[in-house]
Structure 1
Amino acid sequence: MKLVTSSVKRPVGVIMIVLAIIALGVVSLRNLNVNLMPEIDLPVAVVATSYGDAAPEEVEKLISEPIESSVSSVEGIETVQSQSQAGSSLVVLMFNSGTNLDQALLNVRESVDQVRGVLPENAGDPSILRFNPQQMPIMWVGLTGDEPAKLTQVANDEIVPYFERQSGVASVTVEGAKKREIQLILDQAKLNQYGVTSRSIIEALNNANQSASVGTIEKGNKDLQLRVTGELASVDDIKETIVQTERQATVHVSDLADVRDTYKESDSKTIVNGESAVVLSIMKKTDANTVNVANNVNASMTDMKNDLPAELQTDVIIDTSEYIKMSIQSVVQNIIIGGIISFFILLLFLKSIRATIVIGLSIPIAIISTFTLMYFTGETLNVLTLGGLALGLGMMVDSSIVILEHIYSYRQHGYAMVDAAIKGASELASAVIASTTTTLVVFLPMVFVEGIASDMFTPLALAVSFSLIASLVAAVTLVPMLSSKLLAKATGDSGRRYWFNRFLDKVNNVYRSMLRWVLGHRKTTVFGTVVIIAGSLALIPQIGTSFMPSTDQGKVQVNVQTGPGSSFAHTTDITETVSDKLDTYDAVVETNYLNAGGGGGAMGMGGSSGGSATYRIQLVPAAERDASTSAIVQDMSDDLETVPGAEISVSASNSAAGMGDPIQLSLNGPEHQVLRDLADDVVNTISRIDGVRNAESSAGTGVPQMQIEVDNGKAAQYGLTKQQIISQIRLQFTGRVASTYREDGDEMNVTLMFPKEERSTISDLEDMSIHSPSGATIPLVSLADLNEAQGPVTLQRENQEPQVNITSELAGRNLGRVSSDVEQALDDMAMPDGYTYDMGGQVEDMAESFGQLAVALVFSIFLVYAVMAVQFENALFPFVIMFSLPATVIGVLGGLYVTGLPLSIPAFIGVIMLAGIVVNNSIVLVDYINIVRRKGSDRHEAILEAGPSRLRPILMTTLTTILAMVPLGLALGQGSAMQQPLAITIIFGLSVSSIFTLLLIPVVYTLFDDLTAKFTRR
């Protein structure tokens, strides 16, 4: 080949090109975006709408249903889901994979605009948002050391602006902040005494808090703007605001209310490591590097500490970049270990430092070139792409080994270094290209795989493909050039490694004996192979299936849910008990962040929930603790079961956290109440299944309500409307914003409210009086009936049908086995007519991904056959070679069974990769058998000569590939669990397949040769 000849004769040019590639690769590596996982493209949009304090039933009927109906006709929509809760509606639109989300959002906006006119007047404008799972905080920073009000001021005025100026930071949100408010605590006796209503006070404050431009006048040759100023300039101005009574007298606001400059009442608190705190959550820009942004924020914290008051402390609670850095470091470490192992394997076989260096140089060249290609294709540097490099590490040297072996054969026949390099590399260049192509083509069908499997593993496929292409180019250019300069003599058999040659001779003799036996017992060999494959298939039920491997990120979340309607004070008491029990885990806990109350609704729009609390716990790194996160979660769960008065669930965060719950059931039917009752039965049923943990229903327990049913007839007799009554009740028990007040650039609410002791009990409600427009005072009980009832927390719908979701986590069993038991239990339940269930979450994703990958596997096998048919220009020999594939089933299933790993998406990707890898050894063997036969040997002798002579290169390529993956197979370090199933699949599959290749393929070759001869004679 001209490329080989040019590289050998122009070494300076090759070296300059290599140096340029290295420089470009280093620059690309510095600019690659670093993430933990590849970005998952979920074509999901959200329509969020607020609706005052309306009940979930009203929100569903008046907001959710009209929006659902309007957007359902948008092209590309697969599913429409809605969540209706007190005061807010959330409609989630899931589009088909491949949908142009930008155009889809425009269509959604048009549909929503058409329905705006039928929404209630006091409903908020619908917000249409693109959902991006990557838009999550990358860091949480706690600020402690003073009262919450002071912490809030420092956070808002100093820290937030400073953080947002850092490179890559998109926004910073303050959690647990205190909001300043001017409260007017009304005195009902004074209001009655002066004959003043709350409306009068609101009008007086608004009238006193106005500024406006009223025109212009001339002064000389200039126009003067006329502006009436009258904004409230101080709290004293609020106190002195004049209110006119019904008798046309005047009083001041301070005569009617206690004016307090304080903070808004809050039913939430944040505690970091036992101290009251405010927490800053930091979001990065979409295209920013997570690690770089976190480093910038950490550096800014160090610079900022000198400017903060001495009593304030900033501490990083959770930094997601730490796990990314540890994971990347672990994978790089595994790459280095694998490279060292490959180097020593090559040294052992080649018996030459120079020869080993010639081949070993192809590894760093291939890796650096891969970084360049990844940068220009927009891929990120993450655990999976680096794992792809680690997995392809051993395969990178295969082409170089074959080329170098052939160059050596010419050197041993007396050729000069340059001639041997040119002739040896040129003869096998086409074969090496074909061999590498069989490995590359298995990734082509991944282009047609959609969904999460594609988003997760297309980057891995690209990384492996880039590295193999780069190593192939190095094998046909760099290796011949270096061989022509460095290999002054052919390898000898002397020296301290001569023992290895004797060992290989013994292996060769044993192999030749086994080969003679299988050739003499062909039927027994084939039958035995079939029996072993069938036996391995029997392991499938024992292995089970899973979606994605879980990784030990050391993140634990404890959710505390007290009884329906629980007060914030009661929830706080419960959290104190929980905190005491969690204190026993201080040795393994790095940070503990508690957010009690303020549960919020969908997209943060719902009302707060005083009955919930969440602990976010970051454990110390896995290397610094004896137990895994899963084990610690189980211990915490057992300890917290004894806490009375609350439902407490403990869960661990892992790689699949953003991909739905492991078990997710959707119950659908015409009635919400029936679905809630059915959901309770389902939760009780599946909770008894081994492996199901924290099963819960989205319907939950109804919230206790006091329903006020206004008698419109009686209200009309007093000149009252329903809205006027609602307004007065809301003022009494919630308060009402009367105006706004600005001070030093900050704006705060001026809120009217009654003393807490007058708005706390049922008696306060029953004793409340309503003021009519005529000035009459009517007891509320005369205008309305008061009834206690249970109200729903959230109403859900899917595709315009009521729905309830049931979710569960896993404990001790894999997803496939648990989901099978859950499905069996549900099939045994008697579902009412018209009510059905669907399995979603990771079960649905797993089934969909397995189906698509199975199709990709079939196409990969076909493409491998097609490449070999082109290479051999024969349809029979590739068919013989393909018999090495069934034997991989033995290794794959046996490896998963021995290691206790389920069949997961990474393992399936490993099977697809094996389809292109295992045939390479068969190609080498069958090709050489044909060469020997063409030289005049009979078939039997050709096989006995070709097998042992090809054993050495087959062992070299197989061992470098397998042993380079051992660090990943052992899951050494953080983040390696993601590639472990893939590595185990290839290690065991290739190992077993290589044995069958050396023994079974010669037998199959003879069988097909006999069959061909029989047809030829006919």
Structure 2
Amino acid sequence: MKLVNTSVKRPVGVIMIVLAVIALGVVSVRSLVIDLFPKIDLPVAVVATNYEDAAPEEVENLISRPIESSVSSVEGIETVQSQSQSGASLVLMMFKNGTDLDQALLDVREKVDQIKGALPERAGDPNIMRFSPEQMPVMWIGLTGKEPEALTKIADEQIVPYFERQGGVASVTVEGAKEREIQLILDQAKLQQYGVSPQALVESLNSSNKSVSVGQIDKGNQDLQLRVTGEFESLEDIERTIIQTESESTIHVEDVAEVKDTFKEKSSEVLVNGKSSMVLSIMKKTDGNTVDVAKNIRSGMEDLNKELPDDVSLDVVIDTSEFIQMSIDSVVKNILIGGIISVFVLLLFLKSIRATVVIGLSIPIAIIATFALMYFTGETLNVLTLGGLALGLGMMVDSSIVILENVYSYRQRGYSLFESATKGASELAPAVIASTTTTLVVFLPIIYVEGIASDLFTPLALAVSFSLITSLVVAVTLVPMLSSKLLRKVIDKDQGRRYWFDRFLGRVNNGYQRVLKWVLKHRKTTVGGTLIAIVASLALTPFIGAEFIPASDQGQIEIRVETAPGSSLEHTEAITEKVNKKLTKYDETTEMSFASVGTDDLGMGSSVNQATFTMQLIPSSDREKTTKEIVQEMDKDLQTIPGAEITVSSMDSGMEMGDPIQIQLKGTDHKVLTELADQIVTNISKVKGVYNPESAASEGVPQMTIEIDEDKAAEYGLTEEQITNQIQLQFTGQLATQYREEGEEMDVTLLYPEGERSSINDLEGMNIQSQSGASIPLREIANLKEIQGPVTLLRENQQPQMNVTSDIVDRDLMSVVGDVEAELDQMNFPEGYSYQIGGQAEDMTESFTDLALALVFSIFLVYAVMAIQFENFLFPFIIMFSMPATVVGVMVGLFVTDLPLSIPAFIGIIMLAGIVVNNSIVLVDYINILKRRGMNTYEAILKAGPNRLRPILMTTLTTVLAMVPLGLALGEGAEMQQPLAITIIFGLTISSIFTLLLIPVVYTLFDDLTKKMTRRKKKKTVE
């Protein structure tokens, strides 16, 4: 080939190109974004709306339903889900894969704007946003030391602005901060004495707290702007604000209210390692590098700690980059180990340090070139792309081995260095290109795969493809060039070395010849034995099971504490303290923990009866128990705490994949759905492997409903809205105006004394003021009734829904789902009510279906490439018989290692479709060459088999042994690549054995069949 001749003739040019590629690769790898997993494309949009103090039913009817109806017509929407709870609505829109989410968000915003005017006045503006797993914080930092008020000021003025200036940081959120507020504590008796209503107070404050432009006048050649200034400049200004009474007299605010400069009532509390604290959540930019952002923040912390007061400190609570860095380091370490093993195998077979160097140099050059290609295609450096490189590592040398062996054979026959390099490389370059192509084409059907499987498969496929393409280029350019320079003394110096390995190979070759003769004599037995082995391996399927994505032992644990609905923050804090005491038992295995009492998730409001603990364990290599084992032990210990429902779960996937099992109940009535959900929780709790099943329909929040008698209210000249506003002012307060001080803006809020707004008696004894100034007891114009209201109302596609979720332990996902469905099928669902399995189970089924389709297309493409290569339809068909035997290796490998079938394992099967045929191509191609030289089929097979055993062993061992470190799951985060590695190791090993024995038998069977058909045609022609 011209490319080979050019590379050998111009070594300086090749070396310069290689150096340029190395330089480009080094720059690229420094610029690659490092992350744990590839970017998961979740085309989801969210509309969050606050509707303070509204019950879930009211939120559903007045907020969620109108928004659902308006956005349902947006193009590309697959599912619309809504979640309505007290005071807030959340509407999620899931779009079809491939939807332009930027345009979709514009369409959603337009639809929401059209119905915004129809929403209640008290409802906040809908907040429309894109949902992404990248919205999770990369770090949590604890701020401890002084009083919360002082810490809040330090955080707002020093820390947050400083961190937000660091490279890659998008935003910093503070939890546990105190928010300053000016409170006007109303004196009800004095209000009545002076005949002043709270509304009059609000109007006076607003009219007095204004600065407005009133025009302009001329002053010589200048225009002077006229501006009336009247904004409050001090608390005294607020106290001295004049109020006009009904009797036309004037009083001041201080006459009817006490002005207090204080902080808003806390609805949450943050604890770091059991101590009251504040936590800063660091969010990175979309294109930010998690590891670099974490480094920048840590560097900034060192500078800040020097400037902060001595009794204030910043400490890292959780740093997600640590696990990413450890995972990447472990994969790189495994790649290096695999590379060393591959080089050692080459050294054994080639018996030459020089020859090994020729091939060994192709590995780092191909890897570095791959990094450059990954950078220009926008791929990240993660455990999957590095896993692809580890897989490609063993396959990288395959092409180089074939080329070098042929060059070496020419050298042994006495050809010059130049002739050996050019003839040897040119002769086999087409075959090498064809065999590499069969491996590459299996990745083309990725276009048919959607969802998470595509997000995971595509980067891996690109990494392997890039590594194979670069290794192919190296094999046909660099290897011949280096061979022409380094193989000068290879014949004299290295001949006769390592006799022990030559003798070992000789025994293996002799044994193979004997077995080959036997299988050729017992062809039916061989084929029958193969079929039995395949069927027997398929029988292992029930014992293997399946799961979606292998969980990584990240060492992160989440503990959710939920006290009785309606519990006070103080009560929840008391339960949290009990949990903290129990957790001291695990101090030796815990690096850091923080608890958030009273949550505020995605604008869904605060829940003072809930607390969430997030714990970071020490690395898995430093502890004896896995995270899941610790989770189960913690769960058992914490269940002894009365007064709360406590759930312990691991956060080990590193990817937001949802619950393993999610049962979606659909029907027409929320109450019936709630009853069904409770029944399902009871039933599936008996299924082995189901862990912590729970219903979204938790116990209702105690509610006091106020049913206003409109007729009676009208008699006093009152409307329902006026009564509602007065009740809301009494028990919630009312924002009157804003007060600015030194650039800080804070609320001025009207409140009644806490003793007048905390009990049922306060509500029952409340007086409503009429337009005439008369006071009417609330009980005269309204009925009070205490009920249990729902916590959350769910809907999907404008139909009521209820979810039951569960984690799994000690069993694979598919087996558990099968048993859960069996339990559900035994239940009698009312007419119009049904269930659907969602969560990871649904994603797993969809992904496996897509990957199965990709596998079918991959096999077809491999056949098509071989048909083109051989210019024959029969020989590719013979070679394809090496594929069914792969099933034996895959099933035995997963069974022996006790790993369920998962997406990485399935991807490994697809890749095997392109890998396993390479050995068969080498064997069948040589058999055909020998037949063309005049040998009969039997003689050609007996000579071709032993002759090609050595290169087949070399290519198989380098690929398999390079994957062994990944197969052993050494280091942090290796669980993701383990199924892929095990599939390749066992599948390729067993397939190679069948290739060496079954393919010759199949070849003879088809050869006999061809001869029979040829004889029949001749007979018909003669007749």
TM-score range with shorter-chain normalisation?
Answer: over 0.9
User: Distance between the aligned counterparts of 1:656 and 1:1010, measured in 2?
Assistant: 56
Q: Does 2:703 match 1:705?
A: yes
User: Distance between the aligned counterparts of 2:140 and 2:481, measured in 1?
Assistant: 54
Aligned to 1:731: 729
Aligned residues of 1:25 and 1:371 also touching (Cα < 8 A): yes
Aligned to 1:445: 445
Counterparts of residues 149-188 of structure 1 (less than 5 Å): 149-188=149-188
Structure 1 SS opposite 2:577: helix
Counterparts of residues 531-610 of structure 1 (less than 5 Å): 531-597=532-598, 599-600=599-600, 603-606=602-605, 608-610=606-608
Aligned to 2:1014: 1016
User: Distance between the aligned counterparts of 1:443 and 1:224, measured in 2?
Assistant: 73
Counterparts of residues 440-589 of structure 1 (less than 5 Å): 440-491=440-491, 497-589=498-590
- Aligned partner of 1:851: which letter? T
User: Distance between the aligned counterparts of 1:221 and 1:372, measured in 2?
Assistant: 66
Aligned residues of 1:667 and 1:804 also touching (Cα < 8 A): yes
Q: 1:246 Cα shift?
A: 3.0
User: Distance between the aligned counterparts of 2:130 and 2:188, measured in 1?
Assistant: 48
Output one character per residue of 1:289-318: Cα deviation in whole Å (capped at 9) or x when no partner.
Answer: 111111111111111111111110001111
User: Distance between the aligned counterparts of 1:526 and 1:207, measured in 2?
Assistant: 96
User: Distance between the aligned counterparts of 2:950 and 2:656, measured in 1?
Assistant: 47
Structure 2 SS opposite 1:560: strand
Aligned residues of 2:554 and 2:654 also touching (Cα < 8 A): no
The 1:354–1:947 alpha-carbon spacing in structure 2 relative to 1, beyond 3 Å, is same
Aligned residues of 1:217 and 1:225 also touching (Cα < 8 A): yes
Aligned residues of 1:136 and 1:283 also touching (Cα < 8 A): yes
TM (norm. structure 1) is 0.98
Aligned to 2:807: 809
The 1:707–1:204 alpha-carbon spacing in structure 2 relative to 1, beyond 3 Å, is same
Aligned to 1:102: 102
Counterparts of residues 606-645 of structure 1 (less than 5 Å): 606=605, 608-645=606-643
Output one character per residue of 1:749-776: Cα deviation in whole Å (capped at 9) or x when no partner.
Answer: 1111112122111111111111111111
Output one character per residue of 1:581-629: Cα deviation in whole Å (capped at 9) or x when no partner.
Answer: 01110001111111001x236x2243x2110000011111112211111
User: Distance between the aligned counterparts of 2:586 and 2:764, measured in 1?
Assistant: 48
User: Distance between the aligned counterparts of 1:277 and 1:600, measured in 2?
Assistant: 17
Aligned to 2:356: 356
- Aligned partner of 2:119: which letter? L
Output one character per residue of 1:352-389: Cα deviation in whole Å (capped at 9) or x when no partner.
Answer: 11000100111111100101111111111111111100
Output one character per residue of 1:201-233: Cα deviation in whole Å (capped at 9) or x when no partner.
Answer: 222222321222222233333332222222111
Q: Provide the alpha-carbon RMSD of the alignment.
A: 1.3
Aligned residues of 2:133 and 2:655 also touching (Cα < 8 A): no
Q: 1:331 Cα shift?
A: 0.7
User: Distance between the aligned counterparts of 1:491 and 1:65, measured in 2?
Assistant: 83
Counterparts of residues 114-129 of structure 1 (less than 5 Å): 114-129=114-129
- Aligned partner of 1:788: which letter? E
Q: 1:327 Cα shift?
A: 0.9
User: Distance between the aligned counterparts of 2:224 and 2:527, measured in 1?
Assistant: 104
Q: 1:138 Cα shift?
A: 0.9
Q: 1:187 Cα shift?
A: 2.0
Q: 1:495 Cα shift?
A: 5.8
Aligned to 2:968: 970
5+ unaligned residues in a row in structure 2: which ranges?
1017-1023
Counterparts of residues 416-455 of structure 1 (less than 5 Å): 416-455=416-455
Aligned residues of 2:317 and 2:593 also touching (Cα < 8 A): yes
User: Distance between the aligned counterparts of 2:495 and 2:797, measured in 1?
Assistant: 77
User: Distance between the aligned counterparts of 1:544 and 1:748, measured in 2?
Assistant: 58
Aligned to 1:685: 683
Structure 2 SS opposite 1:609: strand
Output one character per residue of 1:428-450: Cα deviation in whole Å (capped at 9) or x when no partner.
Answer: 00000001111101111112211
User: Distance between the aligned counterparts of 2:506 and 2:564, measured in 1?
Assistant: 76
Aligned length: 1015
Aligned residues of 2:29 and 2:372 also touching (Cα < 8 A): yes
Output one character per residue of 1:397-442: Cα deviation in whole Å (capped at 9) or x when no partner.
Answer: 0000011111111111111111111111110000000011111011
- Aligned partner of 1:255: which letter? D
Q: 1:491 Cα shift?
A: 4.8
Aligned residues of 1:663 and 1:808 also touching (Cα < 8 A): yes
Aligned to 1:944: 942
Output one character per residue of 1:550-570: Cα deviation in whole Å (capped at 9) or x when no partner.
Answer: 001111100001111111111
Output one character per residue of 1:457-512: Cα deviation in whole Å (capped at 9) or x when no partner.
Answer: 10000000000000000001111110110001445775662100000001111111
Q: Does 2:644 match 1:646?
A: yes
Aligned residues of 1:895 and 1:984 also touching (Cα < 8 A): yes
Q: 1:515 Cα shift?
A: 0.7
User: Distance between the aligned counterparts of 1:178 and 1:103, measured in 2?
Assistant: 39
Q: 1:829 Cα shift?
A: 0.6
Aligned residues of 1:166 and 1:296 also touching (Cα < 8 A): yes
User: Distance between the aligned counterparts of 1:422 and 1:207, measured in 2?
Assistant: 93
Counterparts of residues 645-794 of structure 1 (less than 5 Å): 645-655=643-653, 657-794=655-792
- Aligned partner of 1:619: which letter? L
Aligned to 1:902: 900
Q: 1:188 Cα shift?
A: 2.0
Aligned to 1:827: 825
Structure 2 SS opposite 1:658: coil
Output one character per residue of 1:177-198: Cα deviation in whole Å (capped at 9) or x when no partner.
Answer: 1000111222222223333321
Aligned residues of 2:79 and 2:94 also touching (Cα < 8 A): yes
Aligned to 2:1021: none
User: Distance between the aligned counterparts of 1:494 and 1:409, measured in 2?
Assistant: 13
User: Distance between the aligned counterparts of 1:396 and 1:491, measured in 2?
Assistant: 25
User: Distance between the aligned counterparts of 1:139 and 1:81, measured in 2?
Assistant: 30
Counterparts of residues 161-310 of structure 1 (less than 5 Å): 161-310=161-310
Structure 2 SS opposite 1:976: coil
Aligned residues of 1:44 and 1:131 also touching (Cα < 8 A): yes
Counterparts of residues 381-420 of structure 1 (less than 5 Å): 381-420=381-420
Aligned residues of 2:354 and 2:490 also touching (Cα < 8 A): no
Q: 1:267 Cα shift?
A: 2.1
Structure 2 SS opposite 1:392: helix
Aligned residues of 1:184 and 1:753 also touching (Cα < 8 A): yes
User: Distance between the aligned counterparts of 2:491 and 2:829, measured in 1?
Assistant: 76
Q: Does 2:983 match 1:985?
A: yes
Aligned residues of 1:412 and 1:490 also touching (Cα < 8 A): no
Aligned residues of 1:558 and 1:614 also touching (Cα < 8 A): yes
User: Distance between the aligned counterparts of 1:127 and 1:742, measured in 2?
Assistant: 26
Q: 1:656 Cα shift?
A: 6.0
* Worse-superposed segment, 831-840 or 71-80: 71-80
User: Distance between the aligned counterparts of 2:623 and 2:481, measured in 1?
Assistant: 51
Counterparts of residues 46-85 of structure 1 (less than 5 Å): 46-85=46-85
Output one character per residue of 1:50-90: Cα deviation in whole Å (capped at 9) or x when no partner.
Answer: 33322211221222222222222222211111112222222
Structure 2 SS opposite 1:390: helix
User: Distance between the aligned counterparts of 1:491 and 1:197, measured in 2?
Assistant: 107
Aligned to 1:377: 377
Structure 2 SS opposite 1:610: strand
Output one character per residue of 1:328-364: Cα deviation in whole Å (capped at 9) or x when no partner.
Answer: 1111111100000000000011111100010011111
User: Distance between the aligned counterparts of 2:114 and 2:552, measured in 1?
Assistant: 46
Structure 2 SS opposite 1:161: helix
Structure 2 SS opposite 1:80: strand
Counterparts of residues 839-854 of structure 1 (less than 5 Å): 839-854=837-852
Structure 2 SS opposite 1:667: strand
The 1:81–1:552 alpha-carbon spacing in structure 2 relative to 1, beyond 3 Å, is same
User: Distance between the aligned counterparts of 2:416 and 2:207, measured in 1?
Assistant: 103
Q: 1:121 Cα shift?
A: 3.5
Structure 2 SS opposite 1:381: coil
TM (norm. structure 2) is 0.98
Output one character per residue of 1:731-752: Cα deviation in whole Å (capped at 9) or x when no partner.
Answer: 1111111121111100111111
**Percent of aligned positions with the same letter in both sequences?**
69
Q: 1:524 Cα shift?
A: 0.7
